[in-house]
Every structure is written in C-alpha cells, then in structure tokens.
Amino acid sequence: MATVELKDVRKTYGGRVEAVKGISIDIPDGAMCVLVGPSGCGKSTLLRMIAGLEEITSGTVSIGDKVVNTLGPAERDIAMVFQNYALYPHMKVYDNMAYGLRNRGMDKDEIDRRVRDAAGTLGLAELLERRPRELSGGQRQRVAMGRAIVRSPKAFLFDEPLSNLDAKLRGQMRIEIKNLQRSLGVTSVYVTHDQVEAMTLADTLVVMNQGLAEQVDTPIAIYERPASIFVAGFIGSPAMNLLAAEGGETGKGLKLAAGGTVKPRETSLPDAGRKVLLGVRPEHLTLVSARNNADIEMKVTAVEALGADTLAHGYPVDGDARAGELIARLPGTVRVADGDVLPLAIDAGMAHLFDAGSGKRN
Amino acid sequence: MSPRVTFPNKILPYLLIAPQLVIVGIFFYWPASQALYQSVLREDPFGLRSTFVGLANFRRVLSEPNYINALQNTAVFSIAVAFVAMAIALLLAVMADKIIRGRGIYRTMLIWPYAIAPAIAGMVWLFMFNPAMGTFAYMLRSSGYQWDPLLRGDQAMVLVIAAAAWKQISYNFLFFVAGLQAIPKTLIEAAAIDGAGETKRFWTIIFPLLAPTTFFLLVINTTYAFFDTFGIIHAVTGGGPGKATETLVYKVYNDGFVNLILGDSAAQSVILMVIVIALTAIQFRYVEKKVHYG
C-alpha cells in the first residue's frame, strides 16, 4: 500500500522524440488511476517508466514517498499485469505464481499459503497443476492477476490487461478486477484505450494525448466538463458532436458555420464574432414535437436502431453534409427514417463551448 | 483442426515430390543398400571375386581393437564438439542479443565462418597450431607449454575438436539468435519485476524456453560431428598421431578407400548407420520429453 506520485515525468528517445512531455499525477493510497488515450499517446511508456522498465528522462516517480527513479523493477515492489499475460509457458500455474516469491527467498510454507490463498480468491484452485497453454484466455488473465497479488506489492500496474479477451469476458473481468482492487485496497495504475474500461474502473482518470495529460479528474467530471476538444471527442460513445460556430450579436445565440443559429439554454455565450466549437453529446439532443422549440434541425442520412437506443446520423438541415456531422441518441421507441428532418433541442446546460483556436474549453 | 488441403489432380502431388525422392533414392538408399550388400561379402585381394561370408565382417570389425579405439574417439569427439559448439554459440547469441547498435554487423561477422569449407577450416587451424610454423603454437611453446599435436594424441584431439566446433558455432549461433528473438520480451520483463536477476532469468526462463532450439541443434550437431567432420580430421591430423584422432567415419574411409578392404568398410558403415539411427531415436524419445514447445 502506498501512494504513487509522478512529478513532471518526461521521456525522450534518442534525444529527439518526446514520448511523454511532462506529466504530473498524484495517486492516493488505494486508488485506481486509469490512463486512457489513443495509441501512441505515451500511456504505455508512462506505465513502463513507473514499473522501471523504461528509463525516466527527467522528473521523478515516487512510490510510497520514496523516489524510485534509479531503482530496478524488482526493487520498486510493484506487480505488473501484461497485455499478453506474460505467463512463463514452461511452468505450471502454481510455479508461475510462486516464481516471484521464490526469487525473494520467501519461506516455502508461506509461499504455499499465499499461492493457495490467491488461487482461492481467483477461482484457480483446480488449475494449479496446469500449464498456461492448457488454460483459456480468461483463466490466463486470472493467473496473471494471481501472480500480481501473491506478492502483496505496493502498487499494481495493468497494461491493457483485457484487450486480448472477447467482449463478454472483458466485461466480466473488468468487474472482477475492480472488485479485487477495491477489496485489496492496492494503489493501481491501469492503461487502456477502451473508454468503457476507463470510465468504469477509474477513481482518477487521466486522458492522454501526444505525450500530455489533457485532463486529470474523476470519470464523471471528465464526461460532464471535458477540458478540451480532444477529451470531448475521446470520452463518450458515440463521440460528442462538434459544430463550428461563432458568437452572434448579444442575445442572438450562436451562428453555426453550417448556417442557422442556435441558442443553447443555460450556457454563457461567447462575444460576437469569436470562433468556437459547439459540442453536444448525442444523448443530450432531445426530439421535440414542434419546430419552434427546436434548437437545431437535423436531416437524417442513416439510422442505427440498437433496440434500447436509436442512433440517428445526419447533418444540420440549414447546412450541408460536409459542414458537420450530427449524431443524436434517441429512445429506442422513436421510429425515424432516412431523409426525415428532426427538430432537436439541446438539453439545458448540456452544450459545451470550446475555443476554435486553442481547443480548450471556453 | 485445420481443414485438409486436397488436390483434385491425382498425379501432380507425386510429380511434385518426385525430384526429392529421386535425390534421396540415388544418394541415400542406393549407397546404403550397396553398403548393406557389401557388408556381407568378402573380396579377394585383387578385387576379382567376392564371396558371401554372412556376418563374419561384422564379427571381425567389432573384435578389432582399432575399431573400439575409433568408437571411443568418436564418442569423445562428438560430445566435445556438440557441447563446445553449442555452449559458445549460446554465449555469443546471448551477448549479441544485448547489443543494440551495430547488431547486424556483429551477427553477419559471427555467421561467416559457416561459409568456410571443412577442409579449409581445418587448414586454418592447422596453420595456426602447426608446431613448425603456427603462430599460436609458437606462442604456446614460448609460454612454456609443451605443444606438439604431431606427437601427442590428446593435443591432436583438442585441435580437431576446436576446429570442428569453431566451424559449427556460426550455424548454432544463427539458430540461438532466432530462438532468443522468439521469446516474448514481456516474459523477461515479468521475470525482472518478479525479482529474478540476469543470471537467474537466463537459467529459469530463457534457457528452458530455448529448449526446442537446443534440442534441434543437439541432433544436428551430433550428426555433424559424426559425419561432416571428415574433411577437418583429414586436413588437420589425418587420423593421427597413431590412431588418436581416427573417428568411425574416418576409419570407414581409411579401410575402404585407402586400404581397399571393402567388406570391412561396408560393415563399419552399416554399424555407423545403426548408431546414428539409434542416437536420433533416443534423442527424440527422451530429450524431447523435457522440451517445451511454448
């Protein structure tokens, strides 16, 4: 148990390529911090620096108030779960889990007790004599988890541990990991590109882009108030609608680049002429009965009826298809067809405005 | 189960494997059957007549002290060559795996010796260690060591082992490098996090995972030491001094083509064939059990 603290951590390869450009995060004891971002954003590099598998170019990584920059991976007292599980193929499940303990010269009986405890917790008791290749993907994942928990390390590091599993198993393991992490109370850093995992697992969510942390906050806060266009587009599925617009005359709302004006309720509007991006999540567009009540009208070009929801794809009717795509998430009971024009209202206070130049929240 | 590929054409598959079958037939089965046939015949001194003698050739060969000597030499020679060639190749491969800059150059340089013909490899070592003119022989002697492979059998043996192993190192190196690359890097990292130091990682993770490669090379190296080292021995010692470096293959050649005792020579080749078949079978049966094909 320990806190994990990153201070202005940077990674430069060969003196030129900057993979991580100065990240500072404080992870409280027992919390789960999720690093999310597109591939190549530096999230895995950051995790590997915490693990001690990559050198830290500058900045400090502390685990339990102790700077670990110069320590090797073994001395940092962390455990890591890899994407491909990295189980030792020539060892039985038992030996896979005992390996780290044996290397630390632990007493035989204690090793046995710990391995059997962990196996019990993870439902692996029957599988201890098997070899990794005789296990299913989910079981291998569990063994990898087991190998991490027997050590009772100061921190768990997860490197996309669920991405090799099928969708159903992934959902199940996600909940198991969450419960396990909660009950053990071990500080964890979890890397993923899957935003569902990010939203559900994180106490602290770090959205990374091009080596920088775009936003660090709780998942809900990030969903409700994305700090930049990147975060807005990355968190939430389907992605947030982003329409180019500029401030209209006082009291007149926003002039959409696609044509027409919008006046979102409970939103402070920018000065006249200032270029912004209007962001509205698909789930915050509501179908209204009368055109007068509509903030925006959408011409439907494609419909995905998912049962629970209906996703309507289209564009603002005053503009054309290139001016900006719109997606609305409507109740599953609503029947829409291609070519329909839907009057949509933006839910009160649910419009996001971003500066068109900097991409930051207004 | 992957679906079986079927060819609609009945003749084509046979046609496609025919060249290989012809080669194996002409260069293996034909001479092998000739050896079998010759091994139960005895020729008169002028090669005019041959008589069927049953297993008499085998009995005589096996009771001959020179043959037992060759058998012992072969055992020492093969074990030493396989061990030395594989151990050094593995060491080099592990070292080369750590190099990041100039990796390709190192590998290429280490692979080159394989392109050298056995007889030439033998000559190189002979020149280096020839007591009369060899540079290394001179250095050995001036450091006080009694180096004379022309008179001392054990030194001659060391010399042919070194030459034979040296030539095989490149080949083994190539396979070990490939084997090392096939081990996922995350396994090594996981072991590092699990607190295993570099030496421990090698013996508990890397070496066991290299077992398929090691096993394959063991078979190849043994066969190499048995058969393909003729050229080296011929060039370096010619089986001498005395018969200190005469291996089974060398004796087959000597008795058959130098002394022209065809029946004995054929009987020896048949025994050699049986030994190699037995060795390979044992290796596959027992060693492979401990091999993990990841």
* ipTM at complex level: 0.82
Each residue of A103-142: pLDDT tens digit?
888 899 999 999 998 998 888 888 899 999 889 888 998 8
Q: CA B181 to CA B244: how far, in whole Å?
A: 41
Which residues in chain B have their CB less than 8 angstroms from residue A53's CB? 189, 192-193
What average pLDDT does the segment B161-190 reach? Answer: 88
Q: How many CA atoms lie within 13 A of A122 on its CB side?
A: 31
Among A220, A210, A245, which Cα is nearest to A354's? A245
Contact check, Cβ <8 Å, B195/A86: no
**Is B25 within 8 Å of chain A by CB?**
no
Q: Which helix (H) or strand (E) holds B42?
A: strand B41-43
**Number of neighbours of residue A30 by Cβ within 10 angstroms:** 16
pLDDT at A321: 63
pLDDT at B292: 59
Nearest to B189 among A53, A79, A89 (CB): A53
Q: Closest residue of A to B190, CA-based?
A: A86
Which residues in chain B have their CB less than 8 angstroms from residue A73's CB? 189, 192-193
- A278 within 8 A of A243, measured Cβ to Cβ: yes
**Is A88 within 8 Å of chain B by CB?**
yes
Q: CA B72 to CA A261: how far, in whole Å?
A: 98
As a whole number, the mean pLDDT across chain B is 83
Token pair recorded at residue A22: 């100065």
Mark which residues 162-191 of B lie under 8 Å from A by CB: 184, 186-187, 189-191
CA distance A216 to chain B (A): 28
Residue B134 Cα distances to A141, A261, B97, angstroms:
61, 96, 34
**Is B20 within 8 Å of chain A by CB?**
no
Residue B246 Cα distances to B9, B81, B154, B166, B234, angstroms:
52, 15, 12, 19, 9
Q: CA B57 to CA A214: how far, in whole Å?
A: 87
Q: CA A296 to CA A253: how far, in whole Å?
A: 12
**Is A150 within 8 Å of chain B by CB?**
no
Among A2, A1, A8, which Cα is nearest to A61's? A8
**Is B79 within 8 Å of chain A by CB?**
no
The residue type of A13 is Y
**Is B54 within 8 Å of chain A by CB?**
no
- B191 within 8 A of B207, measured Cβ to Cβ: no
Counting Cβ atoms within 10 Å, is residue B129 exposed (0-12), middle (13-18) or buried (19+)?
A: buried
pLDDT digits (tens), chain A, 362 positions: 689 999 999 999 887 888 899 999 999 999 999 999 998 899 999 999 999 999 899 999 999 888 998 988 888 999 999 988 899 998 999 999 999 999 888 899 999 999 998 998 888 888 899 999 889 888 998 899 999 999 889 999 999 988 888 888 888 889 989 998 999 999 999 999 988 899 999 999 999 999 999 999 999 999 999 999 999 989 988 889 988 888 887 777 888 887 777 888 777 788 888 888 889 999 999 998 888 778 888 889 999 999 899 999 998 887 766 667 889 999 988 888 888 888 888 888 888 999 888 888 87
